[in-house]
Amino acid sequence: MKDQYDYIIVGAGSAGCVLARRLTDAPGVRVLLLEAGPEAHDFWLRTPAGMARMMHHPKYNWNFETEPVPTLGDRRIYWPRGKTMGGSSAINGMVHIRGDRRDYDHWEALGNPGWGWDRIGKLFDAMENDITGPAKPRLGGPLNISHAAVIHPTVHDFIAAGRALGLRYNDDVNSGDIEGIGLLKFNIRNGQRQSSYDAYLAPVRDRANLTVITGAHVTRVVLNERTAKGIAAVLPDGQHVTFHARGEVILAAGALNSPQLLMLSGVGDPAELVRHQVGVVHALPGVGANLQDHFVSRVQVRVTPGSSYNKSLQGWRKYLAGAQYLLKQSGYLALGSSPAAAFVKSHPDMAYADVEISFRPMTFGFDTRGGVAVHKFDAMSASVYRVRPSSRGRIGLHSSDPRQPARFEPNYLATDDDIAAMIAGIRAFRSIIAQSPLRERVVAEMVPGPDVRSDEQLLDYLRADGQCAFHPAGTCKMGPDAMAVVDCRLRVHGIDRLRVADASIMPVVVSGNTNAASMVIGENAARMILEDARHQRTVAAA
């Protein structure tokens, strides 16, 4: 064994950085944090508008791709995932949405005590420094939350149009009730991205009880008689090393990589492991199952001059925007992805909103190299997706080689409910843009287009054009049932001293963007780990 630590955390992403911070808050606890990607030292990582450059970045992005999806005409769907300190929180759109209180109460009702809103809501309060001025201030946490640096007049018209249709104005999407229409919030501070690394780990990076190794590709968990003893990894220089954990190993590699690591370590569905010549250490069929992701459809609309900020990012104006950002850290380069959203029910019988319509007064496409290219004409757009899809996919192995990506089978639009909800969401956005005062800005719908009206036509459009919203979850689900991978304390069923703490443990994906929920999973995991360690010491001393 090369070295020994109390806790080894695999993955310095949204949850992993939170875990490392909270565990090392205890001075006597020695933590090793391993990250496959490089350090997050790049101007465009810190700049909110840099998310466009990160979309296919070979250094900071895993650039994953799914298997052909039968329900989408066998298209492969591109899945970006962050590969640097902060993980996907270093390259995403920075939208900060907790989800609905009923999401977490549902987790608890599924047999997971300690995950209901009464506890999780307080953990959100403790992690946030929300300067947007909600009725009940949430100040003092490490993660800074703000509204968009520029709120275009068209955004206000979008909200007004939704209210005119009868949607409730929601002045705080993070109150625990997502339903309604209003402004979104972002992990942005003084015009700079606040990844989980920036907020949690960078301020304490020099702690004596914290060791961080970047460029370390973990190949497996070292198991001995169904007990995690450490991890095996390959360092950037090609050296194969093993690190020993006196306490526990915690997988925080994300919903795509954590299940792969379990399978490579011999924990998973026996049929899958045997197929790829991986020795079965412990049969756990739920590993990689229960894959959920938000399948997204775009609607793009041409608008009147001045109703979009597309042209502010073209020609000489983009240099002006750049100068404004460099001098004041403000303007369009300080923006996150979508400044406002509507959360609506796809059907009146839904218990609470199940469709998100994220709105932005700009549009973009992709150039021949896959880069993001802002359109040169005035236009606005929405991303429509069902926040609690009923379709389930799975993750498997392509081979026993840890350097090979896993096999991703998302199974989008596999249920009639998901199809109906997506179509309802597109229609809901069309109703909003047809309502004053927004309709006065509309010239014509571009995508999917005014001739795409029937359910059949809209379904064809979804299958031909829909993409992922970059929110995979659920592949190491938490619970007491036969397909659960971890228990309510995030301990892997049947394996001692091994936990999983990232978006993979969600039994059901949260109602909205998943980054905030991933961070709060890290918060709750750290508290549970320290609570359990204190309990063990008390028992040993008795």
Which parts are annotated binding residues? 92-95, 218
Per the structure block, which two tokens stand in for 428?
Answer: 């809901």
Distance, CA of 97 to CA of 95 (rounded, Å): 6
Cα four-point dihedral sign 351, 254, 39, 62: negative
Report how far apart the first and last C-alpha atoms of the chain are (Å, whole number).
32
Residue 1 has pLDDT above 70, yes or no: no
Q: What is the mean pLDDT of residues 162-167?
A: 98
At residue 516, what are phi and psi to the nearest 5 degrees?
-60, -45
**What letter does residue 332 receive in the DSSP assignment?**
G
Burial class (CB in 10 A: 0-12, 13-18, 19+), 26: middle
Strand pairing partners for 182?
341
Tokens of 77: 């769907």
For residue range 289-313, what is the model confidence (pLDDT) as tens digits? 999 999 999 999 999 999 999 998 8
**Tokens found for residue 91:** 């390259």
> Are the C-beta atoms of residues 317 and 331 closer than 8 Å to each other?
no
The closest alpha carbon to 441, from 244, 289, 301, belongs to: 301
Choose the catalytic residue: 152, 276, 471, 535.
471
Tokens of 205: 């990076």
Mean pLDDT value across the chain:
95
C-alpha span between 29 and 209 (Å, rounded): 6
The total number of residues shown for the chain amounts to 542
Q: Over 90: is that where the pLDDT of 541 sits? A: no
Could you tell me which residues are beta bridge partners of residue 83?
Answer: none
Question: Per the annotation, where are the binding residues for FAD?
Answer: 92-95, 218
The 10s digit of each residue's pLDDT in 322-381 is 898 888 888 889 999 899 999 999 999 999 999 999 999 999 887 656 567 889 999 999
Radius of gyration of the chain (CA): 23
| Residue located via tokens 């968990």 | 221
Please, is 136 exposed, middle or buried when counting C-beta atoms within 10 Å of its C-beta (0-12, 13-18, 19+)?
exposed
pLDDT at 368: 55
At the top level of CATH, which class does the domain 148-183+295-386+413-471 belong to?
alpha beta
pLDDT (0 to 100) of residue 515:
97
Does the bond joining 437 to the residue before it have cis omega, within 30 degrees of 0? yes
* Least confident range of 2-16, 223-237, 359-373, 455-469: 359-373
- What is the residue extent of each domain of the chain? 1-59+84-143+192-293+476-542, 148-183+295-386+413-471
Q: At the topology level of CATH, where does 1-59+84-143+192-293+476-542 sit? A: FAD/NAD(P)-binding domain (3.50.50)
| Catalytic status, residue 398 | no
Q: Which of 393, 400, 398, 395 is nearest to 280 (CA)?
A: 400
Q: Which residues pair with 243 in a beta bridge?
A: 3, 231
Position 137 confidence tier, pLDDT thresholds 50, 70, 90: low
270 exposed, middle or buried (CB, 10 Å; 0-12, 13-18, 19+)? middle
pLDDT in tens, 481-523: 999 999 999 999 999 999 999 999 999 999 999 999 999 999 9
* Cα Dmax for the chain: 75
Q: How far is CA 114 from the centre of its chain?
A: 22
278's tokens: 């991986």
Q: Kindly report the pTM of this predicted structure.
A: 0.96
- Encode pLDDT of 464-484 as tens digits: 999 999 999 999 999 999 999
DSSP state, residue 301 = E
Answer whether 340's CB lies under 8 Å from 184's CB. yes
Question: Residue 256: enclosing H or E segment and its boundaries?
Answer: helix 254-264
**pLDDT at position 135:** 59
Q: 438 with 406: CB under 8 angstroms?
A: no
- Between CA 97 and CA 340 the distance in angstroms is 11
